[in-house]
Structure 1
């Protein structure tokens, strides 16, 4: 029980993380009831039942599944919400005990004071225990909701019909956005939903009741002030949202400009257009900076509203209270002040929660609408078993289409009156002009398309599908072929040979262990198409559906594939081939010519030619290609297919693959942040802000906190006056001075926030300009070995962090530091002996923070690393959903998705629990500081050192100490947040210091004088570790001479051009 209450079961993980960076294996296993398969299956079943109702409700399903646990979690918050009001009551009792003029002080002993201190300590401790148990429960609910919805959205997306995609805006981008944004909003809202549902209303009502009991109608003045501030706060939030939308628009324009620049960097360098291209980016950046400045000013205004609310509400309450003829006493001032501090949070958070609830509702409706969208179902086609047709019948039909009319959308026919009969093991070729419906027909056969009339029946069995647009996954090439099937060496290498992939395996850095990038970025179109062909072959299906698989390959490769694959390995299987290579299908026993949405003719090649059907023989093979193909065939004859397979096996032995590991990618690995951010990074950032800005930020912050402490001191001074006059003329003076202090606090906080925002913007702009100049002057080697997405991430995510998140986290950290430092200084100045308790508590606080930070930092990095694969796999699955359905891999990919979600949750849940571990211990430290302050005051009272005025200072010290608890926890979170955000600065700075190209040795204005080009013994390699690509090349091109450069693939033609334009520096010559 103790371990559960205090989260001490995490000590082992934190100790491990303190000694070394934690890894995935260090994360505890999830219990079965939290596994994605369990959670997703239960929610899927519940939604299936709900969807049968007339008006299905996703909210009702979530409430039925998780409502009980959420309700139990909320019960744990009730004691915390009640005990939060024990602070003002106990503070009143303490002030009465300390004040020599109060009746209680005359009758109390030292035991009374100690009892009050103990009561304060335990009330704060019980609050912390219940609060963190509550958060642990509701975060668990939120995690399960996110898990369930992720699984639900994934399952729905994979089986989504084309009607839904076209009619209901279910594009890949919108579905991925739903997974990333809408599902995440569930997680963001649920843990704090109680603030909107009951907690904040309860706190507000109870606060008003207690204030009324203390100051009467003056409580309404404070409430009225807050109600005035709330709309201003809401207006500022809406304005911030508008400006943020403009910011995002400018940011998108800048990133688009950078993307265009990077995508065409080779052309820019060839034409020496780096200057104009970078100027365009800077122009867009200038507009973005202008919008960011406005955002910073509005953010500073909102910060002032939050920070100064207490001061102005206290002014309204105390001004009204004294104006009505009441004397402000110590036992009224400090409890009222602490109640106003309590009231500030629910009143400020309520508008934010209302906006979050609206976002939650919108996201829930979007997900619900998506789940109600139309799915594919097998009723469109009939699957016949072998028993129905007779497994031994030589004339049994593998495919039968009877007078079918097909449509993508209701009442929008695309193919009419289609009838096809394909015998088992036969080859059917489908030809026709572009857009005539060939791919549409294949989609209908695969069950992807609606059948308005007629029928389609296929022999039940597996299908091997090669789409027109190749689909590969981000995995080694071998995994792309196997797709989860067991490795059969003989079959595998036969398939590789038939798909003409053996040369590619020899060229790829690690053979078939080479990792294929996202969307096959490191493969050509022809290579991707052949990988898809090999995948279909390896699946050994009963029916092959081939949608123009020869479109992206050379003529000799197409012939090889047709001979060795389509009429070779596939010979005993049923095949449907769509192609424009009409010269290759003369051997097809049956051909269908499509056009105008119907079958124009069908029969053998000779029959179609005799009927005068135009088969589209526009793609005649050129004479040069025929010669080249002839040479290739002559070479190929020297080695039989069996020999090629054996050679391929030998070349791809496990030993060779082991040696190739690490060479599997052309791209350099991205640097991984580890440990603390270097001090030099902080220095660079602070220098970029500027000494003038830093001085203003520091000074305004100190003055603002001083004004904050003085407002409290002035109230204590005011309340300590012993005047019994009902309406004291000096009240006006006290009010005016208080207004002066309050305005000083608001003004200096506004100045601090504005200059921090502008200073951060100045720093990020300088870093951006330096990075842009550095990247555009980087050599081509950098762009060849660095993925475009990684460079764009520096200009988007990292730059966005430097623009906004980093200055905000620094502002919050500085505010928390001052909010802790001010009360501590007040406490020590009022009761110097309290430092004997304060110093050990501070030491423990710092030790806990350092102990926690190492593990927390690595867990956050792990969490970020496990989040991306979910969305990458989701996008990959959506793009290839038709292939998954054809190969019957949907269940397999669902399991893969669930495994990735489990990986995320394995990190996410320890991260949440570790935050609870930390929060509880930091609040205990804050509790100790409060107790030290209260105990020091009691000791002073016992020693007879307290008079009426001193009692007011002691009361002020304890009042401010009550607010330290939350500030301590928030300061740690902002420290880790700021440190994480500084990683972005570190990455931007790294790109701002790239090794540039050689100096621009600008020629004379008159150059070139005669246009002569001379190469003298030129040597060139692309990178220091790669072999020479030009070896002692010498040639001379005379002025006006026309020269053609020819050679086989890899001979060095492009390398020669790169050397000519100095895209790559010469190694010699």
Structure 2
């Protein structure tokens, strides 16, 4: 057959052969992909030309270019043959040859640019080569089949030679460039150097799987986070699109900014999701054609082989396209989390002090972010499901006529009801999250202040109040879960009710092929809608959480009202200078003034001023002491100098810019780290400066008594240190900072008189550190005995400055300072030292504290040798079922078994119905089969409703309250030594992250695991009905599934545990930051804190991201298993000429069997990892022993004590 003989009809099959038309192949297999590649290659070359070179492999590059140039030569030869006219051709043949040559030249350009500038093999080039290679194989076969003359045979031979060269090019281009990359490979993930094929089959995860299977994983074993997912660059892109002035008033403003920032990652999965949609739609067409083929008396072998190949192609395409689609989607979800957490933290560092937003921000960073990630999980299934449902409805119309409106009507009714439900979702979600926020915030406060609660005897009372908040939170969450259950019911209603209604009202004549094909299209119509209905509440919930984050970001931030003299001079014009009474003072103010306050009124609430009519000057290199009775506003005065007061009037002018101010707050701020870390902060270690500071603050004596010296960990909020030690560490931090201004708020509180004197002389006195450095010092204090040593005194009282001046002046004025009766002793040389005996009180206290101080790192240690990290602990399930009640657990299993039966037996019932239709005499009426079919489907819906109520309402309410009560009781009764050893972030994580898992992911995972297990059992019973030989493969299938889940679970479970553990440092750092925000802003450490948050966030992303990837690896493997089952089932059907009714039932069941298999392993894995929350609570309750021991408490008589005294004889006390 000559080449031109196929020009009539692009889609006709070649006569007498199972083959495509040549013109169809040249248009869709050659011209279309080549044109797309040429356009994309131009864009790729432009973008890559701006990037630096990261690969150096000139010899390898020459080899690739040589192969491509050879291919270009063969394309030129083909074009010459076409141009010579040695055989008859058409215009489309010429166009194909020209476009192929241009595409070959584009290959040279892309190979050259991507070789040096891309660390991975070119995705564009490899995708093009792979697809066109498949197309070229089909074209080569067609060309040889059509070749009759010698020129045609020669053309076909040259074309086949170019095909062989293309295979060589593909082999070279897919080769990894890892060993030639110039960067440090230890700092980059193998994902960054993987080819499109490695990404498609997720083979870059192999090494992490092997390591997780063989040994216990730690954070250091995980791949580094992909550079494209690093928080800093993502947040910079976000800030480029963020405009806070436009955010307010727009309810979806933050959503819009996120979409704009992540537009490309958001759109990348769409082509692959469309490809998955196309492969999915091939299934019912495949079933229809195969059943028609089996109904014929004679079957052609070639056609049968074609069906086998089609089955492999369809299910393989579904597997790979789904893997790539969700791979890209999970990257977008990780980017969203990174951006939002960074922005929440950044905004929290700008918050006003006194604003009660810290607990809210902690909840936003943990619970709300997880709800957002959950809501985004099925994002692309929403729009794809709508398209799939519309196409399926059209296919039903073609086959059954207007009855296709029946499922559409069911869908519309359910969607309308869902729309009504959605209106309540946002409010119920906000009420639930508000309850979580109140409980978690209070719990974090209780944990941080446990020492004071125990000393005050309020621990039990506060515990009861926290438990009450937990019960209220569960009640608020139950309202949201009821909506979720109803939404799930509405989601499954079209899938279960539409088939019987459609078959009941149809007037079309039914046969086996039409029934099962229609059922397949009904599944494609209703299944995505079911997913949409269950996904929409999650999506709406996620958007509501984004709205909560937006509300937090819109909160008023700190306004630094201080002005710098040089900036103010620069900004004031002549008119303003004349009109402003303060300007003239600025112009004439002496250069010796450091801070000038003019007509100042300062307060924490609008129109309620703590300090009024403040006028003061603080000279450079001076020592100013601020005194006054309790409540006179000394701390407010300190915060005023720092620009931290939210309400201010008048002016505060600094003579110079002070990016770093040494500041000690009235309550000493401690990081959860070593003593040295707390002193150094983010400053560089200078041994000489460090030694002088610890000597001046008398910390050297404390270090000598501590086992690890200054490497001793202070614990959360410095719980392992005494009050005096914390004050001196805080003072040492301010002294170590290189700053021209130091502001100290009551730093002598907690110090005995002798230590106070020592510190004052070494730090403030003549020859002290601050005087040597000529530092400007403002000291607010109750220790008025040091007033004679000050250069300037400010006495506060009655919300204003009562008097100010030098001590000598004020001592003679008859005011507040004179009333203190202090003798002027400043004339001494101040060189007297404090003896060892004089400081014994504070040092003895330090020694006692040292005996109970933990010497290791903070936080609960992770036991990496625990085998349960890889294999799990089945006793935890018993603990969970007991917490919900054994009767409730039994009901869950029973209802799930009913679900499995009622969702699978109807398929067999349809086979009985179609057999009755095909028989010569009908045994039962149409209404009989439809009625029982509908009864089975409605029963499945009822079992779903009852199971949802049992698990999501009854179980969560009982288990959630009981587990929280047990854990909270353990916490309250824990000894103080536990809090000195354990990081507050770890404990808070139990009450936030773990309880959130128990309330959300755990019941969801249990429900879906039970669904999938019992549904898969039913499906496994249905599929062998087409051929008993298929059942022979079940033992092998069971072994394969067991091996896969065993191999997978060992790694995924550990990754989930690492995911939870990696979040604790992130939360701890956040709580530390907001607690010491005033100190950190004064020290100029905010940028350092943001950078540290970015590092901790990136580290927490590592296990979370890898966990999502290994789950997609599992989906891919299970989809491959389904592909094998489809191929085996098709082979048995076409070779054994199986019954078309049972084959239809088997193939329709196979459409969802893959999802069931995948669901079993995925949801069981999610169950295993979520049950880790129960395991941690169980371990916590079992290992933390109560401080009260049996027999040590005595109950005194009612009239005790009538009189008496307390005697302590040889008592020793410590935290351990």
Same fold (TM over 0.5): yes
Q: Which residue of 2 aligns with 1:1018?
A: none
Give the Å deviation of 1:406: 4.7
Report if aligned partners of 1:700, 1:751 keep a CA contact under 8 Å in 2: yes
Matched positions, count: 974
Give the superposition deviation at 1:264: 11
- Which of 713, 717, 736 is residue 912 of structure 2 equivalent to? 717
- In the TM superposition, residue 413 of structure 1 has moved relative to its aligned partner by 6.2
**Aligned position for 2:1130:** 934
Give, in whole Å, the separation in 2 of the partners of 1:242 and 1:269.
38
Give how far 1:261 is off: 10
CA shift in 2, pair 1:532/1:782, >3 Å: closer
Q: CA deviation at 1:833?
A: 0.5
In structure 1, the residue matched to 2:1041 is: 845
5+ long unaligned stretches in structure 1: 100-104, 389-394, 622-630, 652-656, 1012-1038, 1059-1063, 1065-1069
1:41 aligns with 2:236: yes
Instruction: Give a deviation string over 1:767-822, Cα, whole Å, max 9, x none.
Output: 67777887788788778866787667667765665566434422211111112111
Distance change in 2, residues 1:242/1:276 (3 Å)? same
1:708, distance to aligned residue in structure 2 (A) = 2.2
Residue deviations 1:133-173, cap 9 Å, x none?
A: 1222232233233323433443343234x3xx77xx77223
- The answer (yes or no) to whether the contact 1:433–1:616 under 8 Å persists in 2 is no
Q: Of 806, 812, 832, which residue of structure 1 is paired with 2:1002?
A: 806
Give the distance between the partners of 2:669 and 2:457, measured in 1 at CA.
Answer: 37
> Contact 2:1005 / 2:1167 at 8 angstroms: preserved in 1?
yes
- Rate the CA distance shift 1:507–1:973 in 2: closer, same or farther, 3 A: farther
Q: Deviations over 1:949-976 (max 9, x none)?
A: x421221111111101122222112111
Shift of 1:318: 0.6
User: 1:51-66 residue pairs with structure 2 within 5 A?
Assistant: 61-66=257-262
Residues in 2 aligned to 1:53 and 1:290: alpha-carbon distance in whole angstroms: 32
DSSP-derived class of the 2:626 partner:
strand
1:661 Cα offset (Å): 11
Q: Which moved more, 1:283-292 or 1:419-428?
A: 283-292
Q: For residues 150-169 of structure 1, what are the structure 2 equivalents within 5 Å?
A: 150-160=341-351, 162=352
1:194 aligns with 2:380: yes
> Could you tell me which residue of structure 2 aligns to residue 11 of structure 1?
206
Indicate the SS of the match to 2:676.
helix
Q: Distance in 1 between matches of 2:248 and 2:467?
A: 56
Distance 2:458 2:344 in 1: 46
**Larger deviation: 727-736 or 706-715?**
727-736
Are 2:757 and 1:571 aligned?
Answer: no
Matches within 5 A, 1:587-666: 587-615=789-817, 635-636=836-837, 663-664=855-856
Counterparts of 2:855 and 2:207 in 1: how far apart (Å)? 38
Assess if the C-alpha contact under 8 Å between 1:397 and 1:459 holds in 2.
no
The question of whether the paired residues in 2 share the 8 Å contact of 1:837 and 1:932 is answered with no
Distance 1:366 1:1010, change over 3 A: closer
Alignment of structure 1 residues 756-775 onto 2, 5 Å: 758=954
- Where do residues 463-612 of structure 1 align in structure 2 (5 Å cutoff)? 463-508=661-706, 510-567=708-765, 568-572=768-772, 573-612=775-814
Q: Find the aligned partners of 1:94 and 1:848 in 2 and give their Cα distance.
A: 31
Single out whichever of 732-741 and 371-380 deviates more from structure 2: 371-380
More deviation, 893-902/337-346: 337-346
Aligned-residue offset at 1:43: 3.0
Tell me the secondary structure at the aligned position of residue 916 of structure 2. Answer: coil
Moved more, 262-271 or 335-344: 262-271
Match in the other structure for 1:919? 1115
> Offset of 1:63 from its aligned partner?
4.1
Counterpart of 2:521? 339
The residue aligned with 1:983 is: 1172
Aligned to 2:102: none
SS of 2:789's partner is: coil
Describe the shift of the 1:436–1:458 C-alpha distance in structure 2 as closer, same or farther (beyond 3 A).
farther
Q: Deviations over 1:818-837 (max 9, x none)?
A: 12111112223442111344
**Structure 1 residue 93, shift from structure 2 partner:** 1.3
In structure 1, the residue matched to 2:282 is 86
State whether residues 405 and 417 of structure 1, in contact with CA within 8 Å, keep that contact through their aligned partners in structure 2: yes
Residue 273 of structure 2: aligned partner: 77
Q: Contact conserved, 2:899 with 2:943, CA < 8 A, in 1?
A: yes
User: Is the contact made by 2:448 and 2:717 (CA closer than 8 Å) also made in structure 1?
Assistant: no
State whether residues 381 and 447 of structure 1, in contact with CA within 8 Å, keep that contact through their aligned partners in structure 2: no
Kindly state the Cα deviation for residue 479 of structure 1 after the two structures are TM-superposed: 0.4
Cα separation, 2, equivalents of 1:174 and 1:257: 11
1:145 alignment partner in structure 2: 336
Against the structure 1 CA distance between its residues 306 and 156, is the aligned structure 2 distance closer, same or farther, given a 3 Å change threshold? Answer: closer
The equivalent of 1:680 in structure 2 is 875
The structure-2 alpha-carbon separation of the partners of 1:660 and 1:16, relative to structure 1 and needing over 3 Å to count, comes to farther
Within the candidate set 163, 171, 174, 2:360 is matched to 174
Bigger drift between 809-818 and 41-50 goes to 41-50
How far residue 862 of structure 1 moved from its aligned partner, in angstroms, is 1.9
Distance 1:850 1:638, change over 3 A: closer
Question: Secondary structure of 2:598's match?
Answer: strand
Distance of 1:257 and 1:890 partners within structure 2: 26
* 1:397-426 CA distance string (max 9 Å, x none): 251415253556787766555443433322
Superimposed CA distance per residue, residues 202-243 of structure 1 (whole angstroms, 9 cap, x where no aligned partner): 122112111111211111111212333345556677788888
Per the alignment, do residues 466 and 988 of structure 1 end up closer, same or farther by CA in structure 2, a change over 3 Å counting?
Answer: closer
Once residues 838 and 662 of structure 1 are traced to their aligned partners in structure 2, the CA distance between those partners, rounded to angstroms, is 57
Distance, in Å, in 1 between the alignment partners of 2:938 and 2:1002 is 28
> 1:91 Cα deviation (Å)?
1.0
Of 855, 867, 871, the match for 2:1051: 855
Residues 813, 974 of structure 1: 8 Å contact kept: yes
What is aligned with 1:458? 655
* Residue deviations 1:988-1028 (CA, integer Å, cap 9, x gap): 4445556676555999x9x86998xxxxxxxxxxxxxxxxx
Q: Contact 2:277/2:388 (CA < 8 Å) preserved in 1?
A: yes
CA–CA distance in structure 1, aligned partners of residues 904 and 1189 of structure 2: 59
- Correspondence for 1:1035: none
Q: Aligned equivalents of 1:519 and 1:818: distance in 2?
A: 51
Stretches of structure 2 that go unaligned for 5 or more consecutive residues are 1-195, 571-589, 824-831
When residues 283 and 599 of structure 1 are mapped into structure 2, their CA distance, relative to the original with a 3 A threshold, is closer
Looking at structure 1, the residues matched to 302 and 401 of structure 2 have their Cα atoms a distance apart, in angstroms, of 33
* Residue 1042 (structure 1) aligns with: 1204
Distance across 2 between alignment mates of 1:1002 and 1:661: 26
**Structure 1 residues 881-960: aligned runs within 5 Å:** 881-941=1077-1137, 946=1138, 950-960=1139-1149
Q: 2: CA distance between counterparts of 1:43 and 1:299?
A: 32
Instruction: Provide TM-score, normalisation by structure 2.
Output: 0.70
- Per-residue CA distance 1:729-769 (angstroms, 9 max, x = gap): 81111122223322333344445555556568767777677
| 2: CA distance, partners of 1:930 / 1:919 | 16
Post-superposition CA distance 1:65-87 (Å, at most 9, x none): 43133223212211112221111
CA distance in structure 2 between the aligned counterparts of 1:279 and 1:38, rounded to whole angstroms: 45
